[in-house]
Amino acid sequence: MEQKIIKTDSGIIIEPLYCQPIAMDEKPGVFPFTRGVHPAMYRDKLWTMRQYAGFSTAEESNKRYHFLLSQGVSGLSVAFDLPTQIGYDSDHAMSEGEVGKVGVAIDSLRDMEILFKDIKLADISTSMTINATAYILLAFYIALAKQQGADIKKISGTIQNDILKEYAARGTYIYPPTPSMRLITDIFEYCSKEVPKWNTISISGYHIREAGSNAVQELAFTLANGKAYLQAAQAKGLDINVFAQRLSFFFNAHNNIFEEVAKFRAARRMWAGITKELGATDPRAQMLRFHTQTGGSTLTAHQPKNNIVRVTLQGLSAVLGGTQSLHTNGYDEALSLPTEEAASLALRTQQILAYESGATDTVDPLAGSYYVEALTNRVEADALALINKIDAMGGSVKAIENRFMQDEIARSAYAYNKAIEDKSKIIVGVNKFTSDDINKTPVFRIDDSIRRIQTEKLNQLRGSRDNSRVQTCLNTIREKATTGDNLMPSVIEAVESLCTLGEISDVLRGIWGEYRG
């Protein structure tokens, strides 16, 4: 009788039984870190429980942050609206219809003050999902920390700051790749001296996976981009043993629990090898530390409460895979931004995993599974083959310019959706086990008056600030951009002088232009 062929989402054939003996001489906390970056992992310290939030005005987002902190989150994660992400103030014509819709609108330091009202930046860790304008949002954060009296050498958090994946998968870029990479290395250089506990980049596979890649592609393209950032920083003369310690990663967690665990384990081993090959000798510079978010693209609008189970499985895969921080999606996010009820339940999911599941009792609990070990090796081998192709093209920037990554992702997305359509892949409640019940899940709605509110704030700001000082600051940024000096000190001075995000972005648009892909 012919045996049925079963594959992972990445196309790896799953054998009916795994019996190969495996070497188990690797230990957690030591090179190549397959089994974890800390010797005792969650027995010593749990992952940081983050909930991603940001919508409407800074006032409304601040209320949600206080709610989440009261429910037990240990770190905040900020979503910004599209105008903020691509460098437009809320009153710009390009912002019409988008202000406050997929994140919070931040136009100036005044908005940042409201966003974190009664929240001490010295006492929390903040992750900001921002890329093209990451240098400005980091400047806002540093300026606010200084205003609060915090020692900026001690504040901690992360900016995503991963522009390469924007060109490959997401699209919220502004400038061409070369000047964009210059901004990133300016941040590396500045923070290594002035904000040493800040994670200066979160190299993101999350959005690559959301765009339609499979697990192997997510891993390969993410690490290839990471390699490009390492090489760019080294070309600027930065010490890999210093700046690589502040690099972190951001991965997606999907439903195939064993492939996801294998992906996380392989990621650590591969990154340790990449950093060592580029000259890193300090173990802390060889470690891959990562944040995980459960898969937004796996959430269904049909039977949305099924998403509670999906998110639980995905969160468990991240924990079994050794994540350093985790965001669990609300079950209603295929319909709208999460309600407070859904956000609270998503957090409770993490807390149950942490305190009731037993998954934290031992390090790398799936190690030694013939299946998981074989999958780890296969995911690594397939991802390395893709990285070697990218290297042969001249690295990630060239691969993106040649549309290699984009085309690979598009092919995977097409195959995945075709499999759902022909029912060779079952999505419960979508293409099987469906019902005609009317969905009565309450949704979270954004008031369309947000743009008017933000415009009024901007008018008041521009009428009350020292506009001659603003012009001086913008001229300084223009000068530094052309001389090649590090831009971060000038940008921080500019935001402290109440220059807006759009004004600063426009100065660099005038010099570097916009990338059209």
pLDDT, one tens digit per residue, over 294-314 is: 999 999 999 999 999 999 999
Using the predicted structure, report yes or no on whether residue 3 has a pLDDT greater than 80: no
Is residue 283 within 8 A of residue 30, CB to CB? The reply is yes
Confidence category of residue 77, pLDDT binned at 50, 70, 90? confident
Q: Which of 17-26, 31-40, 159-168 shows the lowest mean pLDDT across its residues? A: 17-26
Which pLDDT value is given to residue 72? 86
Nearest to 268 by CA among 376, 133, 398, 416: 376
Using the predicted structure, report yes or no on whether residue 21 has a pLDDT greater than 70: no
Q: Which helix (H) or strand (E) holds 264?
A: helix 257-277
Q: What is the C-alpha radius of gyration for the chain, rounded to an integer number of angstroms?
A: 23
Predicted TM-score of the model (pTM): 0.90
- DSSP string over 418-458: HHHHTTSS--BTTTBS---PPP----B---TTHHHHHHHHH
Using the predicted structure, report yes or no on whether residue 1 has a pLDDT greater than 60: no
Nearest to 9 by CA among 165, 183, 176, 217: 217
Burial label for 150, CB within 10 Å (0-12, 13-18, 19+), is: middle
Is residue 314 within 8 A of residue 281, CB to CB? The reply is no
- In the chain, the amino acid numbered 245 is Q
- In the chain, the amino acid numbered 70 is S
Which pLDDT value is given to residue 302? 93
Q: Kindly report each contact of residues 267-270 with a partner whose C-beta sits within 8 Å and lies 24 or more positions away, as own/partner.
A: 267/219, 267/222, 267/223, 268/32, 268/33, 268/34, 268/36, 268/37, 268/322, 269/32, 269/33, 269/34, 269/376, 269/380, 270/219, 270/223, 270/380, 270/383, 270/384
Mean of the per-residue pLDDT values of the chain: 93
* pLDDT tens figures, 345-398: 999 999 999 999 999 999 999 999 999 999 999 999 999 999 999 999 999 999
Nearest to 459 by CA among 59, 90, 81, 100: 90
Q: Which two tokens stand for residue 487?
A: 């831009």
Q: Which two tokens stand for residue 98?
A: 């988008």
**3-class SS of residue 391:** helix
Which pLDDT value is given to residue 436? 85
Query: Cα 124–187–113 angle (5° rounding)?
Result: 40
Range of 62-76, 167-181, 268-282 with top mean pLDDT: 268-282
